[in-house]
Amino acid sequence: MHPVRRQRLFLVLFIVLVSTVAISLVAYALRGNINLFYPPVEVAQGKAPVGQKIRVGGMVVEGSVQRSADSLEVRFEVTDYEATVPVVYTGILPDLFDEGQGAVAAGKLDEQGVLQASEVLAKHDENYMPPEVAEALEASKQRRMEAGQ
Amino acid sequence: MIPEFGHFALIIALCLAVLLTLVPLWGAWRRDINAMALAPGLAMGLLVFTGISFVCLAAAFLQDDFSVEVVANNSNSLLPAMYKFSAVWGNHEGSLLLWVLILAGWTAAVAVFSPQLPLLMLSRVLSMMGFVAVGFLSFSLFTSNPFARLLPGTPADGQDLNPLLQDPGLIIHPPLLYMGYVGFSVAFAFAIAALLGGRLDAAWARWSRPWTNVAWAFLTLGIMLGSWWAYYELGWGGWWFWDPVENASFMPWLAGTALLHSLAVTEKRGLFKSWTVLLAIFTFSLSLLGTFLVRSGVLTSVHAFATDPARGLFILVFLGIVVGGSLTLYALRAPAVSSRVGFGWLSRESLLLVNNVVFTVATLTVLFGTLFPLLMDALGQGKYSVGPPYFNAVFVPLMALLMPFMGVGPLSRWKQDSVRRWRRELLVPAIATLACGVTLPLLHGDYNIWAALAILLAAWLLLALLRDLWNRVKNASSPVAGLRRLAPSYWGMLVAHLGFAAAVLGVVLTSQFAIERDIKMSPGDRETLAGYEFRFLEVGGVRGPNYVADEARFAVYRDGRELVRLAPQKRRYLASGDIMTEAAIDAGFFRDLFVAMGEPVGEEGAWAIRLHYKPFVRWMWAGAVLMAIGGFLTVADRRYRRQRRAARERLREEAAHGAQA
**Alpha-carbon span B211 to B217, nearest angstrom:** 10
What integer best gives the mean pLDDT of chain B? Answer: 88
Stretch among A64-78, A134-148, B352-366 having the lowest mean pLDDT: A134-148
- The pLDDT of residue B303 is 47
> What pLDDT score does A128 carry?
53
A32 vs B142 pLDDT, higher one: B142
d(CA A57, CA A133): 6
For residue B227, give the nearest of B178, B173, B184 by alpha carbon: B173
The nearest alpha carbon in chain B to A67 belongs to B601
Q: How far apart are CA A6 and CA A4, in angstroms?
A: 5
In this structure, what DSSP letter does residue B68 have?
A: B
| SS3 assignment for B137-163 | HHHHHHHCCCCCECCCCCCCCCCCCCH
What contacts B364, CB < 8 A, 6 or more positions away? A22
pLDDT at B256: 97
* Residue A54: pLDDT over 50: yes
* A interface with B, Cβ–Cβ below 8 Å: 3-4, 7, 10-11, 14-15, 18-19, 21-22, 25-26, 28-30, 32-37, 55, 67, 69-72, 90-93, 95-96, 106, 124-126, 128, 130-132, 135
What pLDDT score does A32 carry?
Answer: 67
pLDDT over threshold 90, residue B340: no
Tens digit of pLDDT for each residue in B159-176?
888 887 888 888 889 899
Query: What pLDDT score does B316 carry?
Result: 81
**Cβ contacts of B452 within 8 Å, gap of 6 or more:** B437, B438, B440, B441
The continuous run of DSSP H or E covering B596 comes out as strand B591-601
Residue B268 above 70 pLDDT? Answer: yes
Cα of B390 to nearest chain A Cα, Å? 5
Q: What is the pLDDT of residues B407-439, one digit of tens each?
A: 998 888 888 888 888 898 889 899 999 988 888
Per-residue pLDDT tens for A10-32? 778 887 887 788 777 777 777 76
Residue B597's SS3 state is strand
Contacting B residues, span 176-195, partner chain A, CB-CB under 8 Å? none
pLDDT of residue B304: 45
Question: Which among B383, B387, B601 is the nearest to A37, CB-wise?
Answer: B383
Does the pLDDT at position B474 exceed 90?
A: no
What local confidence, expressed as pLDDT, does residue B307 receive? 54
The rounded mean pLDDT for chain A is 81
pLDDT at B297: 61
Interface contact flag, A18 B361, Cβ < 8 Å: yes
- Given a cut of 60, whether residue B376 has pLDDT beyond it is yes
Distance CA B281, CA B256 (A): 10
pLDDT at B308 over 70: no
Domain ranges for chain A? 1-34, 36-148
B145: alpha, beta or left? (left if phi > 0; alpha if psi -120 to 50): beta
pLDDT tier for residue B393 given thresholds of 50, 70 and 90: confident
Question: pTM for this structure?
Answer: 0.91
Measured from the Cβ of residue B303, the count of other Cβ atoms closer than 10 Å reads 21
Cβ <8 Å between B393 and A34: no
pLDDT digits (tens, 9 = 90+) for B533-567: 999 999 999 998 889 999 999 999 999 899 999 99
List pLDDT tens digits, range B36-64: 999 999 999 999 999 999 999 999 999 99
pLDDT at position A129 is 61
What helix, strand, coil percent values describe chain A, rounded to 5?
35, 30, 35
User: Given this model, what pLDDT does residue B249 score?
Assistant: 92
Which pLDDT score is estimated for A86? 93
Q: Which chain B residues contact residue A26 at CB under 8 A? A: 365, 368-369, 390, 394
Position B312 pLDDT exceeds 70 = yes
Interface touch B385/A34, C-beta < 8 Å? yes
Question: B302: which chain A residues are within 8 Å (Cβ-Cβ)?
Answer: 124
Cβ atoms B87, B30 nearer than 8 A: no
**Exposure class string for B190-218: b at 16+ Cβ within 10 A, else e:** bbbbbbbbeebeebbbbbbbbbbbbbbbb
Query: What pLDDT, on the 0 to 100 scale, is given for residue B491?
Result: 93
Residue partners of A147: CB distance under 8 A and separation at least 6: none
Whole-angstrom distance, CA of residue B335 vs CA of residue B134: 30
Residue scoring higher pLDDT (B127 or B299): B127
Q: Contacts of residue B390 in chain A, CB cutoff 8 Å?
A: 26, 29-30, 33-34
Residue B577, class by beta-carbon neighbours within 10 Å (0-12 exposed, 13-18 middle, 19+ buried)? Answer: exposed
Measured CA to CA, the distance from residue A121 to residue A131 in angstroms comes to: 12
Q: Which residue has the higher pLDDT, A5 or B91?
A: B91
pLDDT band at B337 (very low <50, low <70, confident <90, very high): low
- How far does CA B534 lie from the centroid of its chain? 36
- Please state which CATH number belongs to domain A36-148: 2.40.50.140
B445 — contact with chain A (CB < 8 Å)?
A: no
pLDDT, position B335: 64
To the nearest whole angstrom, how far is the Cα of A91 from the nearest Cα of chain B? 6
